[in-house]
């Protein structure tokens, strides 16, 4: 059986579409665990309606402090041999889980990473070409995640065996990390896996226009982002021969973005600005190879407000 875990918060306008795409998957032996994170709209009622018409939907109404806690509730309830996570604003192909489960069984793998596409506009369709799966080493899988680093879910284009979460050392989402917990978990699963398969066929569709712009508001989770990325760096350093330079550069890029958005706020919090600026000194510049990142870091450190004015003009 496959357990599909869906964290839900105030997505009433798109939720039914997502849940129908799960309900009518060609692979039928599934349980769909919906964690309603205290939604203030009708998302909870929609979840309950689906559970009434299809017993495979299991609804948990929980007030949680962050998404990591919600996902841990889902894992506690999951009974399947396989685990997957879905963002309720995205879409998946009707054959996705049938194909991924056949792949993971055929190759006796621990996880399958599916290709995913980003859709910028409504009704954007992409051509799906049949391609052969390939075996990825842990280094290849980590490099792919970091190379394609974007502020979006890292969990949802993957199928995992439940043993990655249940066998020792047990993998749980870190509830002290408000953001990038999904990236941390993906890295943990990669490092724990003995065999990883990549499916280059396009199965998962990230619907960009449905996702709120990452820095629309500076909530607690955005401010804690550097902490999550530092944990990713610590994990990646445990893999012999893996070059963490690119992750450190992503940490610097994120810290600069965080600092710029703090400076953009009308009511500036000087203490938060000071803490965000301190992040830029976490790694010596000798560990940064990308010249653009290095120059940006130096300017953000030494000429903060000049860099801010340049950034503001470029970002519109």
pLDDT in tens, 124-159: 444 444 578 899 999 999 988 877 665 445 788 899
What residues in the chain have per-residue pLDDT under 50? 121-129, 151-152
pTM of the predicted structure, to 2 decimals:
0.89
Q: What does the pLDDT look like over 165-212, one tens digit per residue?
A: 999 999 999 998 878 888 999 999 999 999 999 998 877 766 555 555
Question: DSSP string spanning the chain?
Answer: -EEEEEEESS-HHHHHHHHHHHHT-S---EEEEEEE---SSSHHHHHHHHHHH-TTEEEEE---SSHHHHHHHHHHH---SEEEE--TTSEE-TTHHHHHHHHHHHTT-SEEEEEEEEE-STT----------EEE-HHHHHHHHHHT--SS-SSTTEEEETHHHHSSSPP---TT-SSSHHHHHHHHHHHH-S-EEEEEEEEEEEEGGGSPPTTSS--HHHHTHHHHHHHHHHHHTTSTT---HHHHHHHHHHHHHHHHHHHHSSS--HHHHHHHHHHTTSS-GGG---HHHHHHHHHHHHSHHHHHHHHHHHH-
| pLDDT of amino acid 109 | 98
Residue-level pLDDT at 2: 98
Q: What is the pLDDT of residue 143?
A: 87
């Amino acid at each position: 059986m496959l357990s599909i875990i869906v964290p839900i918060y105030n997505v009433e306008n798109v939720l039914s579409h997502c849940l129908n795409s799960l309900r009518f998957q060609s692979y039928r032996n599934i349980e769909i665990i919906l964690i309603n994170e205290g939604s203030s709209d009708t998302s909870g009622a929609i979840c309950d309606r689906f559970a009434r018409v299809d017993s495979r939907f299991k609804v948990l109404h929980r007030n949680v402090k962050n998404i990591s806690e919600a996902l841990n509730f889902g894992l506690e309830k999951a009974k399947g041999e396989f685990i997957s996570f879905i963002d309720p604003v995205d879409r998946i192909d009707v054959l996705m889980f049938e194909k991924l489960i056949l792949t993971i069984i055929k190759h006796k793998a621990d996880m399958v990473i599916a290709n995913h596409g980003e859709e910028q506009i409504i009704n954007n369709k992409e051509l799906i070409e049949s391609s052969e799966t390939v075996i990825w080493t842990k280094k290849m899988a980590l490099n792919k995640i970091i190379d394609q680093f974007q502020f979006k879910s890292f969990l949802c284009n993957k199928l995992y065996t439940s043993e990655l979460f249940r066998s020792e050392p047990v993998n749980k989402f870190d509830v002290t990390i408000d953001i990038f917990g999904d990236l941390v978990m993906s890295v943990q699963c990669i490092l724990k896996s003995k065999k990883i398969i990549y499916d280059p066929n396009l199965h998962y569709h990230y619907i960009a226009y449905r996702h709120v712009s990452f820095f629309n508001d500076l909530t607690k989770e955005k401010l804690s982002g550097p902490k999550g990325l530092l944990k990713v760096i610590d994990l990646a350093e445990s893999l012999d021969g893996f070059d963490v330079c690119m992750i450190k550069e992503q940490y610097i890029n994120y810290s600069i973005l965080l600092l710029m958005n703090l400076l953009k706020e009308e009511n500036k919090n000087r203490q938060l600005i000071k803490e965000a600026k301190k992040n830029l000194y976490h790694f010596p510049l000798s560990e940064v190879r990308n010249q653009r990142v290095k120059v940006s870091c130096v300017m953000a450190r030494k000429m903060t407000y000049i860099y801010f004015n340049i950034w503001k003009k470029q970002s519109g």
